[in-house]
Structure 1
Amino acid sequence: MYLFTLVLGLVLLLGGMHLLRQGLQTFAGHGLRQALLWMTETPWKGFWSGSISTALLQSSTALTVMAVSFVDAQLLPFENALALVLGSNIGSTLTTQLLAFPLDQITPYIMILGALGYLFLPNRGRFLSLSILGLGILFFSLTLLQAGMAPLADLPSIQHFLRQLGDNHLQGVVAGTILSALLHSSSATTGIVMLLAEDGWLTLPTALAFIFGANIGTCFTAVLAALASSRAAQRVALFHVLLNVLGVLVFLPFVGPLANGLTLMGGSLSRQVANAHTLFNLISSLLAFPLLPWATRVLKKMLP
């Protein structure tokens, strides 16, 4: 029974994220594409438009794939798309911050509100309601996942795996990368890791290693989209991978101090994991922004 609950929770987690993203994308409509083209005229504009657009779309993967498509169609210079990717990493942290709120009590009302709005509101209002329904399903899925995971803690194989994992941060990065690549979402992976940390399955430092890996795994979809694309589009996908891999290499030696700092900041373990996800993406993107001209030259040499 717990296995069914676990699988159902995972399906609803992915389904809720899809509804949230689909509703917001449809609500924004064609105007979002036009705005992106205008707002990437300079790297600085691209940086902020990437942050805002990803916060609206609730998917850095969707925006990165869109950027790859724009570059492949020669609608957008690949140099400007790099700033868009940096911004998208920051915007993607909004979902995990929302998931850290304890909204169990009002989740049914969010779902009912979204469903009624989708059925009865006209035009674009119904698509906004669809995203609200998706958000409610997201919160409900976390409740199911938590219920499904609880009995697993008593299984010897699970206990052995967690003991073996311990505080091996490199293994945590690899596990987070694989899970995020399979789910095609760093936000979904972060949501699961938040539950594991909250229930005591993972220590905070190991949870942070999972989060770092999730940022690498989320590049997988954009890489696939770029395989049959132009060289310029492939550079965008490669930049996304290098950004997150180098970010992990910078952060990984400081997992312990970062975990201590997050503990001092307070909040639940879920909130601390969400804050780590935000800090990782915010700091790595801000550090990389001044290096964009250099990155452009290097990528042209790597993929001429």
Structure 2
Amino acid sequence: MAAAMFFLLYLLFFLTGMQILKNGLSILSGSTMRSWVFACIDHPFKAFLAGIVFTGILQSSSAVMVIVIGLVSAGVITFRQTIGIILGTNIGSTFTTQLITLDLGSLIIPMIGGGFVFFLAGAMMKRQSLLRISGILSGLGLLFLSMSGFGKLAEPLSHLETVSELLLYSNTHAFAGVLGGTVLTAIIHSSAAAAGIIMSFMNADLLTLSAGIAYILGANIGTCITGLMASAGAGHEAKLTAYAHVWLNVLGVAAFYPFIAFCSGIAEHFAAEPDLQLAHFSLVFNVVSSIAVLPFAEPFGRFVESSARFVNRKH
């Protein structure tokens, strides 16, 4: 019971750290990001690169999707103009996964302490630049604190009967891992946090690399829930944007799913540590999935529109 409570506490630290970090990097959010979007939507490749940059800096593909869906819902841009950005967000989202594999535990206290000092200085001097530095340092400190906590709790959590049974089952049944990753990410609204939890179990030798890959594939589907929620009650074009994000991830997972064992064997050559192996696979999966679709951005858009019309006729 205590392990579960601490798990929730570290999860709160992780999500709070992500939010603080995003606020610290807010120079590219809001009106600034919107103006950049307008400059990039005239060509899918430019939009693709913008999606990578926006998501990498904001540390959240969900945040970028919400902003883009808001622009589409307001009639400022069209669904077709968002396809490149959607493809780029999947790659940008892997930056956080790579970041949390770094072993910077000794910097946790200096980061959080430095963040507090910059916060006080920024508040007294009324300097937004200092407050942003505070957000970046504090956010990173909380991220590494939570990752350290996940690692320490992995073994105690595995003694919980439900967790133990799920881990054992997903080690031999890949679909259970995909489903588990989807549900976990949909609940906590963060594929990065889900990846961190999965990595902690892998580092404790409780999950195989193949099972970790299955969970990561599921996390890519689960992260679509935020976009779907943002498009609820919005216009048709906004819904198409959310649907495109779902289709991209579902098709990518379907393409990789039969080759989980093969991918596991390849990923083992990427690095010696399990968390790095998984982070590198996540990067490869998202890069391959997005680049494979990019040359066919227009046909992909038509496919999303056709599938939406088919579903609407059924209802």
Tell me if TM exceeds 0.5.
Answer: yes
Matched letter for residue 165 of structure 1: S
1:140 aligns with: 145
Residues of 2 paired with 1:66 and 1:87: CA distance?
Answer: 14
SS at match of 1:166: helix
2:77 aligns with: 76
Q: Is there any run of 5+ residues in structure 1 with no aligned partner, and where? A: none
Question: How many angstroms does 1:67 deviate by?
Answer: 1.0
Residues 192-207 of structure 1: pairs in structure 2 closer than 5 A: 192-207=197-212
Question: How many angstroms does 1:187 deviate by?
Answer: 0.9
Deviates more, 1:73-82 or 1:174-183: 73-82
1:285 to 287, 290, 314: 290
What is the alpha-carbon root mean square deviation over aligned residues? 1.5
Question: How many angstroms does 1:256 deviate by?
Answer: 0.8
1:181 to 173, 180, 186: 186
Question: How many angstroms does 1:150 deviate by?
Answer: 2.3
Residues of 1 paired with 2:164 and 2:192: CA distance?
Answer: 25
Residues of 2 paired with 1:29 and 1:123: CA distance?
Answer: 15
Residues of 1 paired with 2:284 and 2:250: CA distance?
Answer: 15
1:191 aligns with: 196
Matched letter for residue 204 of structure 1: L
Instruction: Report if the CA contact (8 A) 2:191-2:222 is conserved.
Output: yes
1:34 aligns with: 35
Question: How many angstroms does 1:29 deviate by?
Answer: 5.0
Residues of 2 paired with 1:275 and 1:102: CA distance?
Answer: 16
Cα deviation, 1:104-163, whole Å, max 9, x if unaligned, reads 111111111222112213123312321221111011011122223322333444433322
Question: How many angstroms does 1:165 deviate by?
Answer: 2.6
Residues of 2 paired with 1:29 and 1:230: CA distance?
Answer: 21
The alignment status of 1:235 with 2:236, answered yes or no, reads no
Instruction: Report if the CA contact (8 A) 1:100-1:270 is conserved.
Output: yes
Cα deviation, 1:72-105, whole Å, max 9, x if unaligned, reads 1111121110110100111111111010011111
Deviates more, 1:57-66 or 1:17-26: 17-26
Instruction: Report if the CA contact (8 A) 2:84-2:294 is conserved.
Output: yes
1:150 aligns with: 155
Q: TM-score, normalised by structure 1?
A: 0.95
The alignment status of 1:95 with 2:100, answered yes or no, reads no
Question: How many angstroms does 1:4 deviate by?
Answer: 2.8
Deviates more, 1:141-150 or 1:272-281: 141-150
Matched letter for residue 231 of structure 1: H
1:264 to 236, 246, 269: 269
Residues of 2 paired with 1:156 and 1:87: CA distance?
Answer: 40
Question: How many angstroms does 1:38 deviate by?
Answer: 1.2
Residues of 2 paired with 1:156 and 1:224: CA distance?
Answer: 33
Residues of 2 paired with 1:128 and 1:269: CA distance?
Answer: 32
Matched letter for residue 53 of structure 1: F
- Runs of 4+ residues deviating >6 angstroms: none
Instruction: Report if the CA contact (8 A) 2:174-2:210 is conserved.
Output: yes
1:223 aligns with: 228
Question: How many angstroms does 1:290 deviate by?
Answer: 1.3
Residues of 2 paired with 1:187 and 1:161: CA distance?
Answer: 20
SS at match of 1:228: coil
**Number of aligned residues:** 304
Residues 36-75 of structure 1: pairs in structure 2 closer than 5 A: 36-75=37-76
Instruction: Report if the CA contact (8 A) 1:2-1:147 is conserved.
Output: no
The alignment status of 1:212 with 2:217, answered yes or no, reads yes
Instruction: Report if the CA contact (8 A) 1:6-1:147 is conserved.
Output: no
Instruction: Report if the CA contact (8 A) 2:171-2:210 is conserved.
Output: no
Q: Is there any run of 5+ residues in structure 2 with no aligned partner, and where? A: 310-315
Cα deviation, 1:146-189, whole Å, max 9, x if unaligned, reads 22332233344443332233221111000000000001111111
Q: TM-score, normalised by structure 2?
A: 0.92
Residues of 1 paired with 2:6 and 2:97: CA distance?
Answer: 22
Instruction: Report if the CA contact (8 A) 1:197-1:204 is conserved.
Output: yes
